[in-house]
Chains A and B, each alone.
Chain A
Amino acid sequence: MPDPTTNEFISHAIALDSWDLSLAAGLVLIAGVVSLLLRLGLEKRLLIASVRTVVQLLLLGLVLRFVFEPTSHWLLAVIVAVMLLAASHSAVQRSDTRFPGLTLLALISLAVSAMLTTIVVTALIIGVEPWYQPRYMIPLLGMILGNGLTGVSLCVDQLLTTLRDKRSHIEMDLAMGATRWEAARDPLRNAVRRGMIPILNSMSVVGIVAIPGMMTGQILAGADPAQAAKYQIVVMFMIAAATSLCCIMMALLIYRRLFNSRHQLRAEHITRHTG
Chain B
Amino acid sequence: MPVLRIEDLAVTADPRSDRPLIAGLSLTVGRGEAVAVTGPSGCGKTTLLRSIVGLIDPLNGTVTLDDKTPPVVGWPTFRSRVCLVPQRPTLTDHTIQSNLARPFNFKSTAGHYDPDRARALLDRAGLSDEVGRSAATLSQGQQQRVCLVRSLLIAPDVLLLDEPTSALDSEAVKLVEALLANEMAERGLSVLIATHDTTQAQRFCTRVLDLSPLCVNKKTVGEPAHA
Chain A residues with CB under 8 Å of chain B are 168-169, 171-179, 182, 262-266, 268
Q: Which 4 A-B pairs have the closest CB atoms?
A: A177-B80, A177-B108, A172-B90, A175-B84
Q: Is the CB of B53 within 8 A of A182?
A: no
Chain B residues with CB under 8 Å of chain A are 14-16, 53-57, 70-71, 75-77, 79-80, 83-84, 86, 88, 90, 92, 102-103, 105-109, 150-151, 154
The docked-state distance in angstroms from the alpha carbon of A268 to that of B109 is 28
Q: Is the CB of B55 within 8 A of A174?
A: yes
Report the number of A-B residue pairs with Cβ-Cβ less than 8 Å: 69
9 additional A-B residue pairs with CB within 8 Å, beyond A176-B151, A264-B56: A169-B90, A175-B83, A177-B76, A177-B80, A177-B154, A262-B71, A263-B76, A264-B54, A268-B16
Q: Is the CB of B86 within 8 A of A168?
A: yes
Q: Is the CB of B79 within 8 A of A177?
A: yes
The docked-state distance in angstroms from the alpha carbon of A107 to that of B54 is 32
The docked-state distance in angstroms from the alpha carbon of A176 to that of B55 is 11
Give every chain B residue within 8 A of A168 (Cβ-Cβ). Answer: 86, 88, 90
Q: Is the CB of A262 within 8 A of B90?
A: no
12 contacts between A and B (CB under 8 A): A169-B92, A171-B55, A173-B102, A174-B55, A178-B76, A178-B108, A179-B106, A262-B70, A262-B75, A263-B54, A264-B54, A264-B57
Q: Is the CB of A262 within 8 A of B54?
A: yes
Give every chain A residue within 8 A of B150 (Cβ-Cβ). Answer: 176
Give every chain B residue within 8 A of A268 (Cβ-Cβ). Answer: 14-16
Give every chain A residue within 8 A of B54 (Cβ-Cβ). Answer: 262-264
The docked-state distance in angstroms from the alpha carbon of A69 to that of B75 is 59
Q: Is the CB of A173 within 8 A of B106?
A: yes
Chain B residue at smallest Cβ distance from A169: B90
Give every chain A residue within 8 A of B107 (Cβ-Cβ). Answer: 179, 182
Give every chain A residue within 8 A of B70 (Cβ-Cβ). Answer: 262
Q: Measured between C-beta atoms, what is the minimum distance from A176 to chain B in Å?
A: 4
Q: Is the CB of B80 within 8 A of A176?
A: yes
The docked-state distance in angstroms from the alpha carbon of A169 to that of B16 is 22
Q: Is the CB of B83 within 8 A of A176?
A: yes
Q: Is the CB of B106 within 8 A of A182?
A: yes
The docked-state distance in angstroms from the alpha carbon of A169 to that of B93 is 11
Q: Measured between C-beta atoms, what is the minimum distance from A132 to chain B in Å?
A: 44
Give every chain B residue within 8 A of A176 (Cβ-Cβ). Answer: 79-80, 83, 102-103, 106, 109, 150-151, 154
Q: Measured between C-beta atoms, what is the minimum distance from B110 to chain A in Å?
A: 9
Q: Is the CB of B86 within 8 A of A175?
A: yes
Give every chain B residue within 8 A of A175 (Cβ-Cβ). Answer: 53, 55, 79, 83-84, 86
